[in-house]
Amino acid sequence: MVTSDLALLQRRPDLCQALQPRLTKYIPVALHPKQQAFLLLDCQEALFGGSAGGGKSISLLAAALQYVDVSGYAALILRRTFPDLSKPGALMDVAKTWLMPTDATWSEREKQWRFPSGATLTFGYLERYDDVYQYQSAAFQFCAWDELTQFGEAEYRYMFSRLRRLEGSSVPLRMRSASNPGNKGHDWVKQRFMVEGLQNGRVFIPAKLHDNPSLDAIQYMLTLSELDPITRRQLLDGDWSARTGGSKFKREWFPVVEEAPAGLRSLRFWDLASTEPKHGSDPDYTAGIKVGLHEGVFYVFDTRRTRTTPGGVEALICQTAELDGRTVAIRMEQEPGASGKALIDHYAKRKLVGWDFKGVPSTGDKVVRANPVSAAAEAGNVRLVRGPWINAFLDELEAFPSGPHDDQVDALSGAVSQLTGPRKPPKVTQHVFLPREYRPDLPYDINNPKYRDEDRR
């Protein structure tokens, strides 16, 4: 900070106050700049994280304690399992170190701190999706997730229903999270905060090892150096693009363009699923990818994905067809058996009448079906039209075939196959060649020597 800035703050104490987060006596540590920035946020949703050792957990605990001097305030901090909460050095252990010397009281049965104001800080866990229902009748003004990427998106979104306050309360409603890259929730957390974040009022504060001077950084870096390269990039560099790659696709094979050439032939291919996330599961998506072909180059326009009921899937497919227009052909993977045929018939006769729509029977191994796409991409012949869907799309392709999902890969393989597959052979007109000596007044007789072989060529 330069001298003129210091002079301004001296003349304007209100500015100095605005740059300081709200603190209480229950926060006994000095916070570092990134942690202070996290506590200053007044948006509903924010993520603090990146590399290991960035001070994430301390930030969550301090944020939870900002309003414990307000009557009726309730905060909740969640981990995936109870052992994660209770092990030495975890947040519940740190909270005891902070709060035992104070006038706050601890309930071992409820795993809850109660303050003289009547405010509470509760520690909980969500090992399975059904565990969210233990909070069904609760109300919190602060909900925090320690290591958010260990959770599923469905659990996270459900807990927004628990954020509420009384009329006239000045306490902000806050959903706060801390996490490193990796784990099973990597894709949805990255999509929610890094891709869609700012446009939806979600703030991500990246923090690295050097942002936490309280830690012995050199020793910790030596410890992290023993990890494999991908995990090291995730934990040491906080690199959300570091993923364990599959054997078929690399990110750098897919150039991003602003728009596709005009007049190209295009279609949208749907790979169907109709399962809602529940019971801590991570089901497949319904994925529809629009692809165009122009002079040997494939252009991927966008992807549409959902995990919902069959009715919700049907609504998405019909709405997307209207948005694409009738010039865009629609193909859909047809599952084996009578049910697969019945579903295709349902769309063809009731939902997509007037569109160029067909079902395509699914045959062969997924990896084998992806081979033509992989070859085209490696040759630089698959290009992506810029859009917010690209990161999640590339994450899935790069992890294929060992990643948790392959729905977009299947849809892309189907689209490329349909755009390049064999078309119906042209109709051939058969001609009858008559001999030069043919006279219309003579009957045709194959045994007549006048009808020689060389005359019928």
The CATH number of whichever domain residue 68 belongs to comes to 3.40.50.300
**266 and 391 inside one domain:** yes
Q: Domain residues for 166?
A: 22-236
Question: Residue 346 — pLDDT band, cuts 50, 70, 90?
Answer: very high
Query: Do 204 and 266 lie in a common domain?
Result: no
Least confident of 1-10, 54-63, 307-316: 1-10
One domain, residues 48 and 111: yes
Q: What is the pLDDT of residue 89?
A: 82
Angle formed by the axes of helices 407-420 and 390-399, nearest 10°: 90
Encode pLDDT of 85-104 as tens digits: 888 888 999 999 999 999 99
Q: Are 210 and 259 within one domain?
A: no
Q: Please write the tens of the pLDDT for every residue from 54-81.
A: 578 889 999 999 999 999 999 999 999 8
Residue 161: predicted pLDDT: 95
Residue 453 lies inside a defined structural domain of this protein: no
The string of pLDDT tens digits covering residues 189-198 is 988 998 888 8
Does residue 102 sit in the same domain as residue 79?
A: yes
In 3D space, the residue among 186, 138, 150 whose CA is nearest the CA of residue 78 turns out to be 150
35 touches 49 (CB < 8 A): no
Between 24 and 284, the more confident residue is: 24
Both 224 and 304 in a single domain?
Answer: no
Q: What is the pLDDT of residues 322-332, one digit of tens each?
A: 999 999 999 99
In a domain, 13, yes or no: no
Same domain, 107 and 152: yes
Final residue in a domain of this structure, among 174, 207, 236: 236
DSSP letters of 226-276? TS-HHHHHHHHS--TT-----SS--GGG--EES-PPTT-EEEEEEE-----
Beta-carbon contacts of residue 218 (< 8 Å; ≥ 6 apart): none
Q: Considering the domain boundaries, does residue 172 fall inside one?
A: yes
pLDDT of residue 11: 58
> Whose CA is closest to 255, among 299, 289, 287, 286?
299
Assign residue 363 the CATH number of its domain. Answer: 3.30.420.240
In a domain, 1, yes or no: no
Model pLDDT, residue 436: 46
Over range 416-428, report the average pLDDT.
69
Q: Is pLDDT at 426 greater than 60 in this prediction?
A: no
Rounded Cα distance, 72 and 111, in Å? 18
How many Å apart are CA 249 and CA 378, to the nearest integer? Answer: 8
Edge to edge, what strands does the sheet with 105-107 contain? 105-107, 112-114, 120-125, 74-79, 142-146, 174-179, 45-50, 202-207
Of 203, 238, 80, nearest in space to 152 by CA: 80
Say which residue, 14 or 293, is predicted with more confidence: 293
pTM of this prediction?
Answer: 0.56
Both tokens of residue 3? 């001298």
| Residue 453 pLDDT | 45
| 3-state percent breakdown (helix, strand, coil) of the chain, nearest 5 | 35, 20, 45
Q: Does 128 share its domain with 90? A: yes
Task: Identify whether the C-beta of residue 382 lies closer than 8 Å to the C-beta of residue 372.
Answer: no
Q: Of the ranges 125-134, 155-164, 298-307, 376-385, which one carries the lowest mean pLDDT score? A: 125-134
Report H helices in 100-151. none
Banded model confidence at residue 350, pLDDT cuts 50, 70, 90:
very high
Confidence category of residue 281, pLDDT binned at 50, 70, 90: low
Distance between first and last Cα of the chain:
95
Q: Does a structural domain hold residue 426?
A: no
Q: Are 238 and 207 in contact (CB under 8 A)?
A: yes
Answer yes or no: is 241 within a domain.
no
**Mean pLDDT confidence for 178-185:** 85
Which is more confident, 222 or 282?
282
- Name which residue leads in pLDDT, 33 or 212: 33
Say what the pLDDT of residue 381 is: 96
Q: Are residues 111 and 217 in the same domain?
A: yes
318 and 415 housed in the same domain = yes
The whole-number pLDDT of residue 451 equals 44
Total count of domains within the chain = 2
- Is 399 exposed, middle or buried (CB count within 10 Å of its CB: 0-12, 13-18, 19+)? buried
- C-alpha 265: how far from its chain's center? 29
DSSP assigned state of 366: H
For range 18-22, the mean pLDDT: 79
Name the domain boundary from 202, 236, 270. Answer: 236
Q: Is residue 456, in this structure, part of any structural domain at all?
A: no
For residue 33, being part of any structural domain is answered with: yes
Query: Are 83 and 201 in the same domain?
Result: yes
Q: Does one domain contain both 208 and 350?
A: no
- Residue 31: left (phi > 0), alpha (psi -120 to 50), or beta? beta
String of b and e for 73-106 (b: at least 16 CB within 10 Å)? bbbbbbbbeeebbeeeebbbebbeebbeeeebee
- pLDDT, greater one: 423 or 246: 246
Distance, CA of 175 to CA of 60 (rounded, Å): 10
Average pLDDT over residues 201-219: 69
